[in-house]
Amino acid sequence: MIRNLALALLSLVLGLAVCEGLLRLFGSEVLPRPDLYLDDPTVGKRMRPGWRGDEFGASVTINSKGLRNPEVDYEKPAGTYRILALGDSWTFGFRMNEPDAYPRQLERMLNASAAARGDTRRIEVINAGVVGYSTDQEAAYLAAEGWKYSPDLVLVNFYPVNDTHNKLRTSQKREALRALHPFLLALYDWPKHLYLREFVKGARRTLKQKVGNARVSVAAKLGVEDKGGRALAENDWTGDYREGARGWEAVRTALDDIGEQSRAHGVPVLVVLLPDPQDIARYHDRFHPKIAPMVESAVRDAQLGYFDLEPTFAPWQGKEDEVVLRRQRHPNAAGYGLIARAVGAEVDERYLVPTSPARPADGARSPVRTDSPRSVVVEMSGIEPPTSALRTQRSPS
């Protein structure tokens, strides 16, 4: 009996080991590279200075200060308008080469716009995005490191799908385990390095969606609504968006912290609400109406600027593959270009043009054109919007 159990256990272990080996061999882009990241007690994790390699299929180089950005000094050169872009994988540039990441596209567009109106300042955008960061980590990074760059503007790129995950609290748990004994931390972290774990998580998510779809189908035939089934089918991530929820309260606390830092340093902060573009119609009809008023209210309470990109992506309903990586929630290079255009127009209108040493001459046209106070027209080269204009809503800071 004991022998049979031992053989069964050994067979199970060997089978799992073979599965893990196959996943590592054929699914090398499933997990982040563990050697890219370092534990940091202040911000949870940071990227290893000087790291070079491939991350999620894209070439990645980390500078001497731990950023996916060309080398940059803390001291700001004369004649430079410096923008610090905080965020997660959307800012980092998931599956993108560095020139196609949103901050670098934004920098090129802002410099072209400045040159067109005779603004001689050099516009510099620092990419401080880190894969997996949440808003609390971005607030901590800004306090510990961000202000050393003397930014003239800070962009907080808020991705609503998972920025409520309160990663800083998780890192504090890890530090507590490390303090007890490093072995306890290693034991806690070990499953995170398994490809099989990610595969099981994906299979579980797919199964939940299939069960949800089946429940919705049966409910429709019976003439009733199954809200629980629909939530499963849609992979509804909005559960944290309710007063008192730990994740949402962590976001509000982080935004308040950023607001206090902004006022202490006399530097404006613009919070950019990124969309969930996997299913733009679903986001437009169901998710955005729930989460956007809460995010905007929290941003206003923190006395920060607010800019919502939902209307920028709305015209791509049913055409997501043109601006989003296939079967992903992340934009492709064209999608990052959409973001850069819209944010660039907003930054121009709100921050750069009012402080420009040279105003546009009458009749002059900038690459990024602003219209009414409530909307901008985004003009793309290489991708045409399916409607005549992309209206991007904002509220004043």
Looking at 205, 237, 269, which one is the last position of a domain?
A: 237
Domain with 184, as residue range(s), is 179-237
> What's the confidence (pLDDT) of residue 121?
96
Secondary structure (DSSP) of 307-345: EE-HHHHGGGTT-GGGTB-TTSSSB-HHHHHHHHHHHHH
Same domain? For 275 and 347 the reply is yes
- Is residue 17 domain-resident? yes
> What's the confidence (pLDDT) of residue 168?
81
| Range with the poorest average pLDDT among 90-99, 143-152, 223-232, 329-338 | 223-232
Same domain? For 52 and 156 the reply is yes
- Is residue 169 domain-resident? no
Pinpoint the alpha helices (H) of 223-331.
227-233, 246-265, 280-282, 288-301, 310-313
| Range with the poorest average pLDDT among 1-15, 129-143, 157-171, 314-328 | 1-15
265-285 pLDDT, tens digit per residue, is 999 999 999 999 989 999 999
- Is residue 209 domain-resident? yes
Same domain? For 296 and 347 the reply is yes
Same domain? For 289 and 349 the reply is yes
127-167 pLDDT, tens digit per residue, is 999 999 999 999 999 999 999 999 999 999 999 999 998 87
Same domain? For 125 and 7 the reply is no
Same domain? For 302 and 261 the reply is yes
- Is residue 174 domain-resident? no
Same domain? For 245 and 369 the reply is yes
Same domain? For 264 and 196 the reply is no
- Number of domains within the chain: 3
Same domain? For 211 and 316 the reply is no
Same domain? For 41 and 24 the reply is no
Same domain? For 246 and 323 the reply is yes
Secondary structure (DSSP) of 361-393: PTT---SS-B-STT-B----SS---SSS-----
192-243 pLDDT, tens digit per residue, is 667 666 666 666 666 766 776 677 677 777 777 776 666 666 678 999 999 9
Looking at 237, 268, 285, which one is the last position of a domain?
A: 237
Average pLDDT of every residue of the chain: 83
Residue with tokens 């919705």: 216
- Is residue 170 domain-resident? no
pTM of the model: 0.81
- Is residue 320 domain-resident? yes
Same domain? For 215 and 136 the reply is no
- Is residue 171 domain-resident? no
